[in-house]
Amino acid sequence: MLKMVGSSGQLSLGKKYAGKYFEIEQIEDNALILRPMRVIPESEAWLHEPEMQNKLRQAQAWMKENPPTETDLDALLEQVEDR
């Protein structure tokens, strides 16, 4: 794909890439490498820490082995009232 940088210094990649983030690396001979990136809000960064990823994998495995079951609300109410 051959593109020309416009007078404002912008480069259009087409609608396919609209709204996407890219890391731009300048390498030898002023060549540029564009790498698609995802931006994670700082408030959610903890979810991507290795320890939390491990906990999430464990939780998903537990959920797979322990599918939800229907609760008998009348029996549950009796258990609560018996306490």
In a domain, 20, yes or no: no
In a domain, 74, yes or no: no
In a domain, 55, yes or no: yes
In a domain, 50, yes or no: yes
pLDDT at 1: 85
Positions in the chain short of pLDDT 70:
none
* Tokens at 41, concatenated: 């809000």
In a domain, 12, yes or no: no
In a domain, 56, yes or no: yes
In a domain, 29, yes or no: no
- For the entire predicted model, the pTM comes to 0.53
How many independent structural domains does the chain possess?
1
In a domain, 30, yes or no: no
Tell me which residue range forms the domain holding 57: 42-68
Residues 6 or more apart in contact with residue 76 via CB below 8 angstroms: none
- Cα 70–Cα 71–Cα 74 angle in degrees, nearest 5: 140
- Alpha-carbon distance of 57 to 54, in angstroms, equals 5
Residues 6 or more apart in contact with residue 20 via CB below 8 angstroms: 36
Residues 6 or more apart in contact with residue 36 via CB below 8 angstroms: 20, 21, 22
Alpha helices in 11-72 (DSSP H): 50-65
